[in-house]
Amino acid sequence: MRREPSATLFSTHDPRRCAYALLLVSLGLFLALHPDEGRSNQARSSPGGIPFRSESARPWRVLEVRSSKLDAYDEASNSFYSSLSAYHDLMMDSLVYKGESTFLLLESRISPSFDAAAPRGSASPNGERTPDLLLTLGSAATRAALALHPDIPIVYCMVLNAEKVTALPEEGVVMGGVSMDIPIRGQVNALADAFPRARSLGILSGVLGPKRRAAFAEAAAARGLETTIEQLRDTTRAATAIRMLIARSDVILADGAAIVYSAEVSRFLLLHTLRTGRPLMGLMDGLVRSGALLGITVDYAEQGIQAAEIARIALQQKGVHSLPRLSPGSTRILLNMRTARRIGVHLPDAFLDSAIKVVP
């Protein structure tokens, strides 16, 4: 059952105290919400029918931190929980990161066969119980986890620009996960398939390295497109950059930088592309639902399943020093038909047949 308290869970500006409070306060809330009921813990079987643990196996405890409340995060989280709890009893608390080292309790989940009398986590030196694994959803939550650098494995998912976001601040942090980073060629091809007559591509991005700029130019050239890239270091020149892209480009791509999807920048981008009839493609379904014509996104449920497989490695192999870092397994093309009618574009039938119409 979902529980959403009105008060902040805790707030502190000391990162190490915040890490300690995050782990201990969340556990205390979980114990209060789930009093012991003495249920039996029956041995279960793996999907192949072979028992994978004994009746005395301790449940895994996962602390999940989300960047915000999004349906996409719900989908990834639910598939993670379902996949991992199919192999082992699981206790999972979910928090929402509110910024400024502040977190809110979202919900607590527990496997149906959980034995409430079983140990609830690894004991710290002072006798408190801590989670076995930290799961992060989204870039902000992942950055927060890295800033806190708790002494437990971290598995991330639903993260754009994962290589930059998950750069380890120090040695000894065990981290792995699955990114939302769709290959540049796949992004450009999707736009070119939708608009085969387009000759110029405008890209709004954060600060790009030379390799990524070259990759955009190469992918665009392969489809007969000239590129104009506007890079944002902050929001001060966002309006100017967007107007320049609209003036110079047939189609526009919103790259995956957090600044591009900030409320201020995305609102201005949507407003002016709609006013000028310029087709816009983004990398988040929220942008498409808000008015962008197209989106290319990952399968959110699949992100959770991939993250669960990485979590199994961390939880089954105690003392592991590294974890896999995976690319998304598949992608989806999203289409806002209301926007298509508004700006008067006609898309190829083959493209329409392959797209998911999120706004009819």
For 54-105, how does the pLDDT look when each residue is reduced to its tens digit (9 = 90+)?
344 689 999 999 998 889 999 999 999 999 999 999 999 999 998 877 888 8
Q: Residue 1 domain-assigned? A: no
Q: Residue 28 domain-assigned? A: yes
State the CATH number of the domain containing residue 30.
3.40.50.2300
Q: Residue 156 domain-assigned? A: yes
* Backbone dihedral region for residue 47 (phi beyond 0: left; psi -120 to 50: alpha; all else: beta): alpha
> Using CA atoms, how far apart are residues 306 and 18, in angstroms rounded to an integer?
29
Assess whether 231 and 306 both reside in one domain.
no
Assess whether 259 and 164 both reside in one domain.
no
Q: Residue 4 domain-assigned? A: no
Reported pTM: 0.75
Assess whether 165 and 29 both reside in one domain.
yes
Task: Check residue 129 and give its pLDDT.
Answer: 61
Q: Residue 18 domain-assigned? A: yes
Assess whether 215 and 290 both reside in one domain.
yes
Assess whether 145 and 49 both reside in one domain.
yes
Could you tell me the residue range of the domain that residue 258 belongs to? 184-297+331-359
Assess whether 243 and 127 both reside in one domain.
no
Q: Residue 3 domain-assigned? A: no
Task: Check residue 172 and give its pLDDT.
Answer: 79
Task: Check residue 57 and give its pLDDT.
Answer: 66
Assess whether 242 and 149 both reside in one domain.
no
Q: Residue 85 domain-assigned? A: yes
Task: Check residue 149 and give its pLDDT.
Answer: 61
Task: Check residue 169 and give its pLDDT.
Answer: 64
Task: Check residue 52 and give its pLDDT.
Answer: 45
> How many domains, in total, are found in the chain?
2
For 97-107, how does the pLDDT look when each residue is reduced to its tens digit (9 = 90+)?
988 778 888 88
Instruction: Give the dihedral sign, CA 186/295/78/74.
Output: positive
Assess whether 22 and 125 both reside in one domain.
yes
Q: Which amino acid is at 28?
A: G
Assess whether 149 and 241 both reside in one domain.
no
> Using CA atoms, how far apart are residues 216 and 46, in angstroms rounded to an integer?
44
Assess whether 198 and 113 both reside in one domain.
no
Residues in CB range of 127: below 8 A, 6 or more apart: none
Assigned token pair, 185: 């060629």
> Using CA atoms, how far apart are residues 242 and 234, in angstroms rounded to an integer?
13
- Measured in residues, the chain has a length of 360
> Using CA atoms, how far apart are residues 58 and 236, in angstroms rounded to an integer?
52
Assess whether 28 and 122 both reside in one domain.
yes
Assess whether 154 and 243 both reside in one domain.
no
Q: Which residues of the chain have pLDDT under 70?
A: 1-57, 113-129, 148-150, 168-170
Assigned token pair, 21: 């409070």
Q: Residue 110 domain-assigned? A: yes
